[in-house]
Amino acid sequence: MASTTTDGVPYPELGDPFRPQADLQALADWLQEQGITPGGLANPDTPAGALLGTKADLEDGKLPEEQVPDRLTETALSASNAAAVDDDTSPVSVALAKTTPRMTTPEAFGAVGDGTTDDTDAVQAAWDSGAPVALTRTYRCTESLLVDDGLDLWWANPTATLLKDFAAGSGSTEAFIRNRDFASAMTGVRMHGLGRVQGASLSATGKVFCLYADDLVLEGFTVDTWAGGQAFLLAGDRVSARHLWALNSAATTGCGGIRFVGGDDFKALGCHIESGDDVFQFVPVGLSTDPLYDMTIRRGSYEQCTGVSSAARLAAAVILDPSDIGGMTCSIIDSSFRNIKGRAANRGLVVENDDSTGDIDGIQFDSVSVDLTGATAAAQDILVKRDNATYASVGAVKNVDFKRTRVTNPAGTTATVSVVGSCSDITFEKPDMRAATGATSVIDLASVTTARVLGGRVDATGTTGGGVTVGTGGGANAAADVTVDGTRIVGVPDGGYGVNLNAVAGASVVRTVMSEVSGATTAKAARIGSSSTKSAVVGNDFTAFTTASTGRVNNLSTDAVIRGNLGHNPRGAVTTPTMPATGVAYTNTSGYDCTVTVTGGTVTVIRVGGTITNLTSGTVRVPAGQTIMLTYSAAPTWVWIAD
């Protein structure tokens, strides 16, 4: 690059190439002083005009400073300015060289770029040169392309393509674009632009990208036509995947979309992925021979993304060793899926720890919508699972939140949602869910400690069992500490329940409105199973049932509290318990607050909850779970009426 113009006029002194605002000012002032391209400074289609336009946009806040190098590069490499780029003394060439590192192209190393000639060596040489690389044509490659620290790769136009024309295995070290060395993370790799990475056909198998890098940026381009591996398998700290597309994968498992396998602070934003296997993944590598095996994931997020899986799930946070049981120690911590919409073919959303002693802790689905039209009928559409039945040492699955989660056209044969394996702290906030016709229930909290269904709408139309089932199957892995609060449960079928507390230690159903499916005659609002303890059904609305009000709650437990429910309380007469022996306390196990009327006999003391009432006959109140004790010489009679 010359230091002066052909007339001997010095170029302006420019500073830090990564702080371009001052350099733009100096270049613009210099152009005006020198009168370069008279009349062209106001024309944004001229190089000088484009430079001044960039400066103006920067000053007006229309262009972020970090986008200035891209704007200048686009100007410099456009077809209309090809001659200006070739002229080292042109204003555009000066601007490009002075504000960004000088770019190279594969053509500078002998690439033809016709999509037919093997350009592998030339592309690799350009990448190895240390300069930013611009792709402008179609480069056929027959081997993997290896990435080192600091690679800056730019697809200069939408037709620029890296064409993968070879088959490979599914391992990380066989990926098309991958680390040269997986021993440690690369740094400072950036790949961006509107071009493509494309398979010549679905026979060109293997992962497309496998990158382990800190501060990695992938932005704007499309992966098209792939099979036998993920489009993107990524690891490292501060990885950013923005506005990526992936299309036309093989319609089978093994062909995943974006899979983040380990590192801190990953973020995918605004991506659209159509894959055979799982679309958006937090899934550590479970194959022990892989260089990225058993890495922990922290603070990852997928945001404002859309996707389609033709054979598997829309979103997954899973730890699984495909070849063995156990052996892993990694965790998935504080990671999220936000504002995600798409379709799936075999379950929609999955959180599952099968093989690690580490935990899955703090997974959030926020405003996620999944459509299961035409999906394979799996047991459930959303699965939260800790596989302690197979691997006793498996770590926890806990603190999983579903906020405003919507399932349309469900396919689950058992339930829309299942939580199994002694998971803990699972929340469904404002769900919008229904079940497939013939499913047992909509939400099945089979085995969980601390679960909440808060607000939202649960439609049990078409089910055989109803809306929310807790502690399915009972036993050692039953549920505990479950709350259903402020939810609308509709479509309860004949023989079914809005909420079935089958086997749970501590449950509350409060402020919930329930109704039966049209035409039902035997649907009920709630059931409390004989294996349940410390259950409360309080302050709900059960008015929209045909079943007689006294039968809308089926209580088989001995320590429940059923109180203040519209359409059910007051309950009225309950079975009168046998009068206990004098001085023996009787516990109110009916589940209802009761009015007890004592008459006849010779009674000297009536105690409620151990407190003397100063009555020897008449009416006393005995709350659910409370005791009453009569001291008498001749037995009285009593009548119990439930609130």
Write out pLDDT tens, residues 286-330.
999 999 999 999 999 999 999 999 999 999 999 999 888 888 999
Within-domain flag for 530: yes
Q: Contact, 619 vs 641, CB < 8 A?
A: no
| C-alpha pair distances (Å), 151 with each of 124, 135, 215 | 11, 13, 12
Q: Contact, 437 vs 410, CB < 8 A?
A: no
Within-domain flag for 509: yes
Percent of the chain with pLDDT over 70: 84
Within-domain flag for 304: no
Number of folded domains that form the chain: 3
* Number of other residues whose CB lies within 10 A of the CB of residue 15: 12
Q: Which pLDDT score, from 0 to 100, does residue 43 have?
A: 56
Do 419 and 530 reside in the same domain of the chain?
A: yes
Do 58 and 72 reside in the same domain of the chain?
A: yes
Q: What is the pLDDT of residues 221-231, one digit of tens each?
A: 999 999 999 99
Do 518 and 580 reside in the same domain of the chain?
A: no
Do 425 and 544 reside in the same domain of the chain?
A: yes
Do 544 and 576 reside in the same domain of the chain?
A: no
Q: Which pLDDT score, from 0 to 100, does residue 537 have?
A: 98
Residue 179, C-beta contacts closer than 8 angstroms, at least 6 positions apart = 146, 147, 186, 210, 211, 212, 213
User: What whole-number distance in Å separates Cα of residue 606 and Cα of residue 621?
Assistant: 11
What string of H, E and C letters represents the secondary structure of 476-533?
CCCEEEEEEECCEEEEECCCCEEEEECCEEEEEEECCEEEECCCCCCCEEEEECCCCE
Label residue 46 by pLDDT band (50, 70, 90): low
| Dihedral (Cα; 443, 461, 548, 578), 10-degree rounding | -30
Task: Tell which residue, 535, 529, 533, has the closest CA to residue 509.
Answer: 535
Q: What is the pLDDT of residues 141-191, one digit of tens each?
A: 999 999 999 999 999 999 999 999 999 999 999 999 999 999 999 999 999
The parent domain of residue 69 ranges over 20-99
Name the token pair of 325.
Answer: 């049981």
Do 58 and 91 reside in the same domain of the chain?
A: yes
- Phi first, then psi, for residue 53 (nearest 5°) are -65, -40
DSSP structural state of residue 576: P
Q: What is the pLDDT of residues 481-513, one digit of tens each?
A: 999 999 999 999 999 999 999 999 999 999 999
Do 542 and 592 reside in the same domain of the chain?
A: no
Which residues are registered as beta bridge partners of 488? Answer: 457, 513
b/e code 210-246 from CB counts within 10 Å (16+ = b):
bbbbbbbbbbbbbbbbbbbbbbbbbbbbbbbbebbbb
Would the pLDDT of 120 be above 50? yes
- Phi first, then psi, for residue 85 (nearest 5°) are -65, -40
Q: Which pLDDT score, from 0 to 100, does residue 51 have?
A: 63
On average, the pLDDT of the chain sits at: 90
Question: pTM of the predicted model, to two decimals?
Answer: 0.83
